[in-house]
Amino acid sequence: MAGLRDALDGALLLAPMTRGGNLPYRRLCVELGARVLMGEMTVARRLKQRRRGEYALIRRAPDEPFFGVQLAGTDADEMGWAAALAEERGADLVDINFGCPIDVFTRRGLGAALGRQPKRIRRIVEGVKRAVVRIPVTAKIRLGWNESSRNYLEQAQAAVDGGADALVVHGRTRDARYRQAADWDAIGELVAALPVPVVGNGDALFPADIEAARVRSGCAAVMAGRGALIKPWLFREAREGYWDLSAEDRLRIYRRYVDLAREHWGEDAHGLARVGEFVRWHLAFWCRYAPRRADGTWPGMQVREPMSFARSPLEALLARADHAALDWLARRLTAREEIVPTEAPAPDSAPDPQDDQAEG
């Protein structure tokens, strides 16, 4: 589809992420330059069961320029029904999840578990394609279940044979989760082999990473998951070049997220509790940001930078990954209170783990 190709051409996409792709965060990313955004992974069966929380996941923000709904499921007819619903509710595309690595989903045969069954991939894509009228259908895969079964070529061909208009490839196996660097050479193999656009996903944290991925693979577009959670201004960097933001600039961005979250979830006690929950969750990613190193090299996605880069007390505070600091910052941000580094509590625990984000 020409419209899809135009939307993807050279774009940086926000990945479909459980929790991470919440509506207020997508709005923040739009304000910071995002043009193609995916909502949180949505389970088709839960939509069919009329679960209110699942319906919230396919809601489009009014300012989203190009919004995709990602669906997970095992039944082709059920997935088709859910895709038609997403189209009716304003989605610009439907993406089918064949890549989520999280145990709670794969044990039920969802996500990456389907990557072991290329014939089912084709049937599900066919079912979704039959159900939608105007919008394109894409499929997201991983390279395989593990290193001994890297069947990405078979998965991709099955999706294309089923009618997929584009393919999104996370450059790791299911068993690798996020523990090793993405394989952009494998993504390049798919670019060369397929007649549809390929979007590559994995390890985009700085503009240099995005450019290197495009050059190495030849992909039509790049998708960012954890990179966009760590620094939502990555989308503007992709268009304008590296931003060396001060701690104060970053804090203003985080406060803007709070404003958008309060607008979305409300100002009553229940709404503010939800805001606080999500702010706390996002802080565990925001604290991982580090600027370009003094020697001109770039921090990587797989290893956290030491806090020695901090150029101010506030920057040192925002880099803290211990529970005490994250809890304190979440409370202060949610309540729109002043952040004074000297008032922050002393570290009381090991770093808060947040490296297994459910990227669909």
Indicate whether 304 and 339 sit together in one domain.
yes
Indicate whether 290 and 199 sit together in one domain.
no
Q: Which two tokens stand for residue 255?
A: 């406060």
Q: Which of 108, 118, 107, 109 is nearest to 141 (CA)?
A: 118
pLDDT digits (tens, 9 = 90+) for 26-69: 999 999 999 999 999 999 999 999 999 999 999 999 999 999 99
pLDDT of residue 301: 87
pLDDT band at 352 (very low <50, low <70, confident <90, very high): low
Domain assignment present for 357: no
Domain assignment present for 169: yes
Name residues whose C-beta falls within 8 Å of residue 198's C-beta, 6 or more positions apart in sequence.
Answer: 166, 167, 168, 169, 187, 190, 191, 217, 219, 220
DSSP 20: T
pLDDT digits (tens, 9 = 90+) for 92-137: 999 999 999 999 999 999 999 999 999 999 999 999 999 999 999 9
The domain tally of the chain equals 2
Looking at every residue in the chain, the average pLDDT score rounds to: 95
pLDDT at 348 over 90: no
Query: What is the rounded average pLDDT of the residues 176-185?
Result: 88
pLDDT of residue 2: 66
Q: Which two tokens stand for residue 45?
A: 């069966």
Indicate whether 270 and 138 sit together in one domain.
no
Indicate whether 294 and 309 sit together in one domain.
yes
Indicate whether 42 and 155 sit together in one domain.
yes
Please compute Rg for the chain using Cα positions.
20
pLDDT at 358 over 60: no
pLDDT of residue 350: 63
Indicate whether 231 and 286 sit together in one domain.
no
How far apart (Å, rounded) are the C-alpha atoms in residues 143 and 216?
A: 17
Which of 182, 215, 240 terminates a domain? The answer is 240
How far apart (Å, rounded) are the C-alpha atoms in residues 97 and 141?
A: 7
Indicate whether 84 and 105 sit together in one domain.
yes
Catalytic annotation present for 100: yes
User: Which of 177-181, 247-251, 283-287 bottoms out in mean pLDDT, i.e. has the lowest?
Assistant: 177-181
pLDDT of residue 177: 80
**Angle between helix 247-265 and helix 323-334 axes, rounded to 10 deg:** 60
Domain assignment present for 354: no
Domain assignment present for 350: no
Domain assignment present for 358: no
Options 29, 100, 219, 287, the catalytic residue: 100
Domain assignment present for 359: no
pLDDT of residue 307: 81
Q: Rounded to two decimals, what is the model's pTM?
A: 0.95
Domain assignment present for 170: yes
How far apart (Å, rounded) are the C-alpha atoms in residues 99 and 155?
A: 11
Domain assignment present for 324: yes
Q: Where are the beta strands (DSSP E) in 53-92?
A: 67-72
What is the full DSSP assignment across 290-317?
Answer: ----TTS----SSSPPPGGG--SHHHHH
pLDDT of residue 357: 52
Which of 176, 205, 240 terminates a domain? The answer is 240
Indicate whether 177 and 268 sit together in one domain.
no
Task: Read off the CATH number of the domain in which 26 is found.
Answer: 3.20.20.70
pLDDT band at 303 (very low <50, low <70, confident <90, very high): confident
Indicate whether 156 and 78 sit together in one domain.
yes
Domain around 317: 247-343
pLDDT of residue 228: 98
User: Which of 63-77, 82-96, 172-186 bottoms out in mean pLDDT, i.e. has the lowest?
Assistant: 172-186
Indicate whether 223 and 254 sit together in one domain.
no
Question: Per DSSP, what are the bridge partners of residue 201?
Answer: 170, 223
Indicate whether 47 and 195 sit together in one domain.
yes
Indicate whether 33 and 88 sit together in one domain.
yes
Query: What is the rounded average pLDDT of the residues 14-36?
Result: 97
Which of 240, 275, 306 terminates a domain? The answer is 240
pLDDT of residue 360: 62
